[in-house]
Amino acid sequence: MEDETMASRKRVPLLLLALTLLLFGAACTGSEDSGAGGDGGGNADMPEAVEERPAAGGGDEVSDGDDGGAGYGTQGDSATSLPNIGPAVIKTAKLKIEVEDGSFQESVQDAIAVAERHGGFVLESVVGGKDLGTGSVVLRIPAEQFEAALGELKDIAVDGGIESERISGQDVSQEYVDLNSRLRNFEAQEEVLLGLMERAATVSDSIRVQRELTNVQLEIEQLRGRLNFLKDQTQFSTITLGMNEAGVAKPKPAGTIDKAWDQAKEAFGAVVSAVIISTGFIVPIALLALIALIAVKLLRPVIAKAR
């Protein structure tokens, strides 16, 4: 019986050594496997909205390099490694329009109706008030409805009054593949660790395996969270619509003198606050020092007479 126990104890360190080599190999090859592993988990977790869209959908507007479209240089490589998957693109647009005088609130409701009509929703609304007549709404629109919704939002402008427009896209196809490859590797490590946990012969072995298992499970949760975020961002585009009533003066940015004056007031307030806080510390200490000095002067003659 003791021989079997000793043999099992000897096998556990060997298993732990093999696990360490597996973890090291997975860490070294994670980035290399990302390019070749896209035909597995990448297909299963890609957003449906992106898979259904052809590769050229909306390309004229989204692929504008000056508007911040990141990663478009690698889109061809992604298409080579993932021939059956369309590009996973995060689409965003910022649009500023001028609406008819007195129709600001109505225009806001029109913009919300456009989002709802295309299966989207309002993420944020900032309204300056009826008197000011300016504000903005942030809309989340399904990616396949991005261009159609953007066109209807432009129609809200009075006499084609589009003040500014910026459309950008970020291709995250390669990141999707890489994250799925890393997730599969960590899930394999988790399975091995769970097996070692069941076969651990001593408490110290269980603690070591549990520590490694906790780290692996944390990595898995982080990877799944990132994948869920990318899935949300690619399935729903973001459109920020700013509106301003015709004839209403736009808020002017603060001038240099105004900014300098504001900074001076903030600095003065910070100095006053520092003085008040310092006084709260210094006054009690000074009082204690004064009391100690008086006590020493009073007790010095008594001590001298006692000697």
Helix axes 146-155, 104-117, angle to 10 degrees: 160
C-alpha to C-alpha distance for 120 and 243, rounded to whole angstroms: 19
For the chain, the structural domain boundaries read 1-252, 257-307
Separation CA 269–CA 238 (nearest Å) = 40
Comparing 151 with 6, which gets the higher pLDDT?
151
Question: Mean pLDDT highest for which of 24-28, 106-110, 220-224?
Answer: 220-224
pLDDT band, residue 250 (cuts 50/70/90):
low
pLDDT of 304 strictly over 90: no
Say whether pTM exceeds 0.85.
Answer: no
pLDDT tens digits, 270-289: 887 787 887 777 878 888 88
pLDDT tens profile 170-229: 999 999 999 999 999 999 999 999 999 899 889 998 999 999 999 999 999 999 999 999
